[in-house]
Amino acid sequence: MTVLFCHIGHQRSRTCIKFVDLPGILFKNHKKKYLFIVENIVTSIILPFDHDRYKPDVIKGDMDSIRPDVKDYYSDLGVQLLDESHDQETTDLHKCIAYVCDFPPILDKSNLRVLVVGALGGRFDHEIGNINVLYRFSSMRIILLSDDCLIYLLPKTHAHEIHIQPSVEGPHCGLIPVGSPSASTTTAGLQWDLTETGMQFGGLVSTSNIVRKEIITVRSDADLLWTINVRKQK
């Protein structure tokens, strides 16, 4: 499933993803949190969760797979159902992120974070489409999350300080130059650090790396994908 969970908070120079009990916290109403659902999974959302408590702000997509009874249920709740079937040039996730950018209650986009649950796994072309959304909206902090890992973009425009939470993530990680090669990438805090190292597909790519410190620094002349495994909660 693909769910967008949006939060507005104080802007921080560091990257730190807080892991909590999912999906409950994602659907919990809060004045600074907004829930958007990609239409092609809303039928599966209504069944396993307490839908009387968890009301999305928006359901958006092509509206080609939502069951009529589910559509009627959310419509009766006053949920916005936005049909974008006329647009076949972008994915449903792209449509939702574009809507988030213009969502009226969200005034300070600099403090916006978007957590996309269920964005990884399944068809590879869908995963690539979701990763492409990170590049299309590179000015936003968007995290793609699955049961196994998370991915987000590290724009080349500034250096990055990633704060690791060892109890819930790591140690396996990677830095991947999707889109364009990197002529120079430097890191600190990894098992195999890079020092002004070039990376590209067909050459060196920093996959299967390991975090050795709780603060990882990354500086590169190219946009990089950061990925790290998520520990299974017992």
Q: Which two tokens stand for residue 11?
A: 């802007």
Residue 158 and residue 143 share a domain: no
Residue 32 is part of a domain; what is its CATH number? 3.40.50.10240
Number of residues that make up the chain: 234
Cα angle value 12/14/20 (rounded, 5°): 90
pLDDT at 132 over 80: yes
* Exposure string over 182-221, b if 16+ CB within 10 A, otherwise e: beebebebbeebbeebebeeeeeebeebebeeeebebbbb
If one counts the domains in the chain, the total is 2
In the listed set 147, 171, 188, which residue is the last one of a domain according to the structure? 147
- Residue-averaged pLDDT of the chain: 76
pLDDT score of 68: 78
Per residue in 20-69, pLDDT (tens digit) is 334 444 444 444 455 555 544 444 444 444 555 556 667 766 666 677 77
Query: pTM here?
Result: 0.75
Cα angle value 229/230/234 (rounded, 5°): 140
pLDDT score of 7: 45
In the listed set 95, 116, 147, which residue is the last one of a domain according to the structure? 147
End-to-end Cα separation, the chain, in angstroms: 22
Per residue in 79-110, pLDDT (tens digit) is 777 766 666 677 778 887 887 777 665 555 66
Q: Which domain holds residue 143?
A: 1-147
CB neighbours of 112 closer than 8 A, spacing ≥ 6? 6, 7, 8, 100, 106, 140, 141
In the listed set 147, 170, 198, which residue is the last one of a domain according to the structure? 147
Residue 20 and residue 99 share a domain: yes
Closest CA to 130 of 161, 84, 94: 94
Cα angle value 213/216/218 (rounded, 5°): 155
Residue 106 and residue 28 share a domain: yes
